[in-house]
Structure 1
Amino acid sequence: MSICGRCGAAFGCAMADPGAAEPCWCTALPPVVALPAAPGGACWCPDCLRRHIAAQTAPAPAAE
């Protein structure tokens, strides 16, 4: 199990956890944003990563 570098939740990471037969779940997400540095270079859990991607890719509010 891995620990999210943002919220501390435990989650499975096929890139870090030994014996994974499938690619990591994160490879299915769009590679559109860089993550801020996390302590120890830790990955983020699915919830944190999806929220971060959504926040970074949301359309900017229209200027009035």
Structure 2
Amino acid sequence: MSTCERCGAEFHCAMADAAPGQKPSGAPGETPCWCTFLPPALPVPGEAAAVGCWCPDCLRAHIAALKAP
């Protein structure tokens, strides 16, 4: 399980929460994370990034705020 960097909620991230002993490779056919189905709103964290992933609720709220006038 991953922990949301914004609110602390636990959630599943297919990119970070690979099966035990398996590292996500990004290979074609690998199950994409739920966040890939949402509009891009934040830079994807890399190995050196200080900010981690957000849970579905926080990411959806952020996207909604970006669309608000």
**Same fold at TM > 0.5:** yes
SS at structure 1 position matched to 2:66: helix
Instruction: Report the Cα distance in structure 2 between the residues aligned to 1:13 and 1:48, rounded to whole angstroms.
Output: 14
Q: Which amino acid aligns with 1:53?
A: I
Do residues 43 (structure 1) and 53 (structure 2) align? yes
Q: Which amino acid aligns with 2:12?
A: G
List 4+ stretches of structure 1 deviating above 2 A: none
Where in structure 2 are there 5+ consecutive unaligned residues?
25-29, 44-49
Aligned length: 56
**Structure whose alpha-carbon radius of gyration is higher:** 1
1:41 shift after superposition: 2.1
Q: Give me the TM-score of the superposition, normalised by structure 1.
A: 0.74
Percent identity reads 63
SS at structure 2 position matched to 1:49: helix
Match of 2:62 in 1: 52
Q: Give the stretch that moved more between structures: 19-28 or 8-17.
A: 19-28
Where in structure 1 are there 5+ consecutive unaligned residues?
none
Q: Give me the TM-score of the superposition, normalised by structure 2.
A: 0.69
Do residues 27 (structure 1) and 36 (structure 2) align? yes
SS at structure 1 position matched to 2:31: coil
